[in-house]
């Protein structure tokens, strides 16, 4: 499946936040969206997810898509997962996202079981979400969107509120979802634990001014993006070597 944006623009109170954005997103690929605060990243995610209606054209596989159609195909996960967790237990929270779909109980239970296994929360069905760690809450928010069986996930700063171990957990979940065939679009400032991505996009003043590979991105030298040290190592020694750099600060450059 493909989502295509053509000359998409959006304004908040007369201020242009997106300016003639054209881009295509495919399932089975991971897209990283970077740029300084206020560049339009979150707004773009909300337009793709159908949470905001913008000027311009949005298509799904070549067919015009309204916000309702986009919401059926794209799950949006907020920066603070606690803001979208409302169930008294883990399974009830996932179930809530399914109730509006009118599914029967057996189908709901099947989906709940599958998505909790997929994000590594199996066995915590009866747990109070308030007792979960930050990484577990983020995984629960992702599970609630996955249960709706959307083709895409739009994640707004999914790593920003987490410690390094939790960032690794969520990055692994994201990689697994990509392998499952989901299209993943992430707005983030945290690049350290994101590796298996296909395209990196840079936004400035509501426009996408770069779209391409991480190698070319590094050559451009965007000053508003902090590039992980291991990316510099990849550039030097070749990412295809698959060297595991667990702590770049202690790596002995030779």
Q: Which residues contact 168 (CB under 8 A, 6 or more apart)?
A: 193
Query: Taking the chain, what is the end-to-end CA distance rounded to the nearest angstrom?
Result: 45
Q: Do residues 178 and 150 lie in contact, with contact meaning Cβ atoms separated by under 8 Å?
A: no
Contact 187, 208 (CB under 8 A): no
59-78: b (≥16 Cβ within 10 Å) or e: ebeeeebebeebbbbbbbbb
Tokens of 177: 């979802």
1 within 8 A of 183, measured Cβ to Cβ: yes
Residues noted as catalytic: 157
CA distances from 96 to 50, 101, 232 (A): 19, 10, 44
Q: State the Cα–Cα distance between residues 22 and 4, nearest whole angstrom.
A: 7
Alpha carbons 231 and 247: distance in angstroms, whole number: 12
Distance CA 119, CA 72 (A): 21
Burial label, 181 (beta-carbon count in 10 A; 0-12, 13-18, 19+):
exposed
C-alpha closest to that of 222 among 211, 238, 235, 234:
211
């Amino acid at each position: 499946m493909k989502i295509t944006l053509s000359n998409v623009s959006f304004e908040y109170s007369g201020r242009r936040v997106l300016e003639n954005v054209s881009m295509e997103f495919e399932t089975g690929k991971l897209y990283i969206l970077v740029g300084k605060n206020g560049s339009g990243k979150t707004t773009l995610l909300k337009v793709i997810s159908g949470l905001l209606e913008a000027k311009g054209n949005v298509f799904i596989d070549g067919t015009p898509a309204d916000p309702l159609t986009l919401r059926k195909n794209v799950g949006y996960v907020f920066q603070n997962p606690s803001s979208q967790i409302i169930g008294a237990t883990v399974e009830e929270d996932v179930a809530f996202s399914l109730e509006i779909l009118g599914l029967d109980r057996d189908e709901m239970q099947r989906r709940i079981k599958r998505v909790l296994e997929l994000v590594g929360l199996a066995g915590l069905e009866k747990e109070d979400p308030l007792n979960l760690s930050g990484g577990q809450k983020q995984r629960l928010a992702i599970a609630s969107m996955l249960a709706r069986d959307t083709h895409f996930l739009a994640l707004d700063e999914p790593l920003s509120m987490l410690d390094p171990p939790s960032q690794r957990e969520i990055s692994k979940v994201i990689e697994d979802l990509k392998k499952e065939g989901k299209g993943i679009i992430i707005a983030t400032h945290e690049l350290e634990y994101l590796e298996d991505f296909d395209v990196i996009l840079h936004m400035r003043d509501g426009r996408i001014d770069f779209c391409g590979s991480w190698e070319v991105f590094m050559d451009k030298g965007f000053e508003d993006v902090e590039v992980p040290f291991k990316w510099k190592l990849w550039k030097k020694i070749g990412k295809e070597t698959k060297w595991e750099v667990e702590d770049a600060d202690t790596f002995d450059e030779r």
